[in-house]
């Protein structure tokens, strides 16, 4: 299995932290934020369920730019063979 060594940037990690602290953030945004933070400073890769969620967010017009930023970060850290 090919490894993906990408990590969440400090800018996206900050956005993820703000998202988790914001009581008005959607459940989906908080899921993506948690996944992005979990991939900060380590070699963890995105799981298939989170890949699916991030992909759906990126294809939808109903999510904000910040949510799409989180989705893009999470998706970029997915397993290269999936």
Q: What is the DSSP letter of 46?
A: B
pLDDT band per the 50, 70, 90 thresholds, residue 55: very high
Domain boundaries, the chain: 10-39+49-76
Angle between helices 10-21 and 27-38 (to 10 degrees): 140
pLDDT 10s digits, 18-47: 999 999 999 999 999 999 999 887 767 788
What's the pTM? Answer: 0.86
* Average pLDDT of every residue of the chain: 89
* Closest to 54 (Cα-Cα) out of 41, 34, 40: 34
């Amino acid at each position: 299995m090919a490894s993906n060594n990408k990590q969440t940037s400090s800018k996206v990690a900050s956005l993820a932290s703000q998202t988790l602290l914001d009581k008005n953030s959607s459940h989906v945004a908080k899921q993506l934020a948690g996944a992005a933070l979990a991939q900060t400073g380590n070699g963890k890769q995105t799981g298939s369920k989170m890949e699916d969620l991030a992909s759906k967010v990126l294809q939808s017009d109903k999510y904000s730019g910040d949510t799409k930023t989180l989705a893009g970060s999470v998706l970029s850290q997915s397993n290269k063979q999936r």
